[in-house]
Chains A and B, each alone.
Chain A
């Protein structure tokens, strides 16, 4: 209201200028340009023509629904594993036992080191002839022959997921740990006085209270996993026979490897559409949670 009476104050807008310039140039404009390119036949040629919906028609004719399904399947399995391992890990780290500070420090490294380097190491471990995983499984008699994990469609699919889980779990764990530490101790003590066991307290008090954090993290993790590029690209480049080609990998292969900018942009637009949907969910959820908390106070 005050703003209507006074002259408009330009100072806050000035403060935003540097951030706006960078994000408009690097994010906003490219999004608009991607949408425009998706209706053209842009490629390495110097000219580009408007082609209407042709790129989209081509895309859907070429097994695109399958790619969408695969992306969501990959994301679903990966995020579920991250959340399950993350909740279990956070509960363990939250236990007041000697050594827990050390354990907390040891959880983070996969997230701290450059993603690509962690993936290099995994690609060695998946090696069939000499790798650790195949070697150990053989030693324990679980497989008879050396297993080249990245060479078969199914095993490659789940191998890339395991690596993705390895990289994503630390943050989920630490975040949920922070949420667990935010649970008011008097609630737990009251239940303890009433004779509630440890597991009961966890299931009936801690878990329900951290549910908003679990929900928020699941959605954030889903968005990051959806965008996951480095892991799959280094391990399999989307192969074998497209088994690990998610939407991001598909877009990269079309646009950057095959120089079909127009068709690649159409795929990128589809990703942006899905991400917008996720973002919508995310903002709806945080405002819901915020409202609930106000109501509870």
Chain B
């Protein structure tokens, strides 16, 4: 058998895997261990991985140290969900246009959309700040949602376009022959068939929007009640005495929902992420 491994090959593979996964997972493990330590033994020298008196106490005390933790988590979720919703509103028709129609400037526009992927928000902060100010969006959810939408549209279009191109044209032609309008065809014929593709795009957008909630929130929002999780916790971080065990506990609780979602949807997430970077 081609896939039969000799014992030393197996040992090599598992050792390599162990090193690789240690690099990936050690920070999470360390964060968990810190969250279990009482504050006195966090600052213990020399360093010990397991210390005495480990307990879940900081998971209870953190709610009074970080009183808005629930709100931060809710905000993070809200912002990512809103980004996903609005991005899909723009992505679905645009991807359909690029997949199905011949029109002047199509390839140029598609390239231009892709080029957006290469610009980061950090470069455009100065004029963006002015845009937000003029539209009265500073210190609102929309100041954090709108940039997220703009920067997730390109990948969304790219992903969904390639999915739509695989749907046979005959379906639409049949609908048109029956006298359906083109918008009706998009809504009633294409959308239901494209649902799996749309779900992948939605998940990829959500994950992206959830992971990148730092810069825009830090710059465009100064209302603490509206802060997403990363910025909410960042405030505690800059203080003289960082309460590390509670900060780690709060971080872990904060990322738990998205990790659970990931475990259940990992197939879609992985295919969405890889397809997003792939050319087709």
Contacts and interface: CB of A to CB of B under 8 A. Distances in A.
B187 interface: no
A170 B24 contact: yes
A3 B103 CA distance: 7
Interface residues of A, number: 104
Given A92-B20, A124-B31, A129-B45, A112 B259 contact: yes
Interface in B248-280: 248, 251, 254-255, 258-259, 262-263, 266, 269-270, 273-274, 277-279
B122 A252 contact: yes
B103 A9 contact: yes
Interface stretch (A49-57, A99-107, A150-158): A99-107
B93 interface: yes
A12 interface: yes
Interface string A80-121: 000001001100110111000001111111111111111011
Contacts of A22: 86, 90, 146, 149-150, 153
B97 A12 contact: yes
A296 to B, nearest CB: 15
Contacts of A11: 97, 101, 182
Interface string A159-172: 00000001001110
A139 B47 contact: yes
A166 B150 CA distance: 27
A275 B27 contact: no
A117 B263 contact: no
Contacts of B102: 2-3
A230 B214 contact: yes
B177 interface: no
A5 interface: no
Interface in B83-121: 86, 89-91, 93-94, 96-97, 100-104, 106, 109, 111, 113-120
Contacts of B259: 109, 112-113
A110 B207 CA distance: 12
Contacts of A88: 16, 20
A113 B228 CA distance: 13
A66 interface: no
B: contact size bracket: 35 or more
Contacts of A19: 90-91, 93-94, 113, 153, 157
A229 B215 contact: yes
Contacts of A26: 124, 128, 131, 146-147, 149-151
Contacts of B49: 132
Contacts of B255: 113-114, 117
B2 A192 contact: yes
Given A108-B270, A117-B255, A120-B233, A27 B119 contact: yes
A33 B213 CA distance: 24
A89 B22 CA distance: 12
B24 A166 contact: yes
B244 A124 contact: yes
Contact of B34 (A9, A124, A178, A268): A124
Nearest to A220: B277
B10 interface: yes
A107 B279 CA distance: 23
Contacts of B25: 106, 109
A137 to B, nearest CB: 9
B18 to A, nearest CB: 10
The listed residue with most B CB atoms (<10 A of its CB), out of A114, A131, A192, A227, is A114
Interface in B187-233: 207, 210-215, 219, 228-231, 233
A3 B101 CA distance: 11
A213 B277 CA distance: 10
A264 B2 CA distance: 58
Interface string B8-51: 01100110110011011111101100100000001111111100
A13 B103 contact: yes
B58 interface: no
B127 A29 contact: yes
A118 B28 CA distance: 8
Contact of A121 (B30, B86, B111, B182): B30
Interface string A275-287: 1001100110010
Interface of B: 2-3, 5, 9-10, 13-14, 16-17, 20-21, 23-28, 30-31, 34, 42-49, 76, 86, 89-91, 93-94, 96-97, 100-104, 106, 109, 111, 113-120, 122-128, 130-131, 146-147, 149-151, 153-154, 157, 182, 207, 210-215, 219, 228-231, 233-234, 237, 244, 247-248, 251, 254-255, 258-259, 262-263, 266, 269-270, 273-274, 277-279
22 contacts: A22-B86, A23-B116, A23-B153, A26-B147, A29-B127, A88-B16, A105-B266, A107-B20, A110-B27, A112-B262, A116-B231, A120-B234, A123-B237, A125-B30, A130-B42, A132-B49, A134-B47, A171-B273, A174-B273, A217-B277, A279-B118, A282-B118
